[in-house]
A and B are shown apart, each in its own frame.
Chain A
Amino acid sequence: MNMVQALNSAMDNMLERDPNVVLMGQDIGYFGGVFRCTQGLQGKYGEHRVLDTPIAEGGMVGTAIGMAVNGLRPVVEIQFADYIYPAIDQIVSQLARLRHRSAGSFWAPVTIRAPCGGGIRGGQTHSQSPESLFTHICGIKVVMPSNPYDAKGLLISAIEDDDPVLFLEPKRLYNGPFDGDPDKPAVGWGEHPHGEVPEDHYGLPLGIAKTVTQGDAVTILTYGTMVHVCVAAARALGVSADIIDVCTMAPLDTDTIAKSVQRTGRCVIAHEATRFSGFGAELAATVQEECFWHLNAPIQRVAGWDTPYPHAFEWSYFPGQNRVIAALKVALES
Chain B
Amino acid sequence: MGRRSRLHIPQAPARPGDRPDFSYLETSPAGAVARPNIDATCQEIEPISAALIRVLGDDDSAVGPWNPQLGPEDLRTGLRHMLMTRIFDERMLRMQRQGKISFYLKSTGEEAVSVAQAMALRPSDMLFPSYRNQGLFFARGCNPVELMCQCLSNTGDMCKGRQLPVLYHWKEGNIFTIAGNLAIQAPNAVGWAMAAAIKDEDNIAATWLGDGSTAEADFHNALLFASVYQAPVVINVTNNQWAISTFQAFAGGDRGPFSTRGLGLGVPGLRVDGNDFLAVHGVTQWAAERARTGAGPTLVELVTYRASAHSTSDDPSRYRPDSEWDDWPLGDPIERLKKHLLALGEWSERQHHALQSELEENFKTAWQEALGFGTLTQGPQLSPDSMFDDVFKEMPPHLAKQRQLLRKTES
Contact = CB atoms under 8 A, between A and B. Distances in A.
Contact of A27 (B9, B246, B251): B246
Interface stretch (A93-101, A116-124, A154-162): A116-124
B161 A312 contact: yes
A275 B405 CA distance: 13
Interface stretch (B117-125, B177-185, B296-304): B177-185
Interface stretch (B212-220, B324-332, B340-348): B212-220
A85 B183 CA distance: 13
B67 to A, nearest CB: 35
| A interface, size bucket | 35 or more
Interface string B382-407: 10100110010000001100100110
A86 B246 CA distance: 19
Given A30-B12, A86-B218, A311-B153, A54 B399 contact: no
A26 interface: yes
A58 B217 contact: yes
Nearest to A308: B162
Contacts of A123: 162-164, 167, 180
Among A31, A85, A310, the one with the most B-chain Cβ atoms within 10 Å of its Cβ is A310
Contacts of A310: 161-162, 387
A196 interface: no
Interface in B3-62: 7, 9, 12, 15
A307 B391 contact: yes
Contacts of A326: 408-409
B215 A56 contact: yes
A126 B180 contact: yes
Contact of B246 (A52, A275, A312): A52
B376 interface: yes
Contact of B181 (A30, A85, A275, A322): A85
Interface in A27-78: 27, 30-31, 34, 47-48, 51-59
B215 to A, nearest CB: 4
B391 A306 contact: yes
B10 to A, nearest CB: 8
A31 B319 contact: yes
B245 interface: yes
Contacts of A124: 162-164, 180
Given A86-B217, A125-B180, A306-B398, A312 B153 contact: yes
B388 A305 contact: yes
A294 interface: no
A106 interface: no
Nearest to B217: A58
B313 interface: yes
Interface residues of B, number: 51
A306 B392 CA distance: 11
A323 interface: yes
A313 interface: yes
B181 A125 contact: yes
B102 interface: yes
Nearest to A54: B215
A270 B32 CA distance: 65
Interface string A121-151: 1111110000000000000000000000000
Among A47, A316, A317, the one with the most B-chain Cβ atoms within 10 Å of its Cβ is A316
B387 A307 contact: yes
B9 A31 contact: no
B244 interface: yes
Contacts of B195: none
Contact of A52 (B181, B250, B376): B250
A34 B382 CA distance: 32
A317 B180 contact: no
A276 to B, nearest CB: 7
Interface string A302-334: 000111101111001100001100100000000
A216 interface: no
A82 B319 CA distance: 25
Contact of A305 (B243, B250, B402): B402
Contacts of A82: 180-181
B97 interface: no
Interface in B304-349: 313-314, 318-319
B173 interface: no
Contacts of B313: 34
A38 to B, nearest CB: 12
A305 B182 contact: no
Interface string B249-286: 01110000000000000000000000000000000000
Which 10 pairs from chain A and chain B are nearest by CB?
A312-B161, A125-B180, A123-B164, A54-B215, A31-B245, A316-B384, A312-B153, A56-B215, A121-B102, A47-B9
Interface of A: 26-27, 30-31, 34, 47-48, 51-59, 82-83, 85-86, 121-126, 275-276, 305-308, 310-313, 316-317, 322-323, 326
12 contacts: A26-B243, A27-B244, A31-B245, A52-B250, A54-B215, A122-B164, A124-B163, A125-B180, A307-B391, A310-B162, A311-B153, A313-B387
